[in-house]
């Protein structure tokens, strides 16, 4: 167990594109790529409802 577990269901990420393939608890699912919303900087997995949120410290150019 290497610390990817958050206190809630949100996973902080450092890129605007993430993938999810479930986890041991939910049983897993086919790997899907998710793009974080341009405004909310969040994405929700349609399979397992996992929430991904951009780490506020991430060095990502979110705006053009």
Token digits of residue 37: 């919303």
| Helix-, strand-, coil-residue percentages of the chain, each rounded to 5 | 0, 30, 70
The answer to the question of residue 50 lying near Zn ion (CB under 5 A) is: yes
The answer to the question of residue 47 lying near Zn ion (CB under 5 A) is: yes
Task: Show contacts with Zn ion in window 12-31 (CB under 5 A).
Answer: 20, 22
DSSP-based three-state secondary structure for 46: coil
Q: How far is the CB of 11 from Zn ion (least distance, A)?
A: 10
Among the candidate windows 9-17, 36-44, 46-54, 55-63, which touches Zn ion by CB under 5 A? Answer: 46-54
């Amino acid at each position: 167990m290497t610390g990817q577990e958050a206190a809630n269901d949100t996973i902080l990420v450092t890129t605007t594109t993430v993938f999810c393939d479930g986890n041991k608890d939910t049983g897993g699912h086919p790997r899907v790529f998710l793009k974080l919303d341009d405004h909310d900087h969040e994405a929700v997995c349609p399979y397992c409802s996992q929430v991904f949120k951009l780490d506020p410290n991430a060095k990502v150019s979110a705006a053009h």
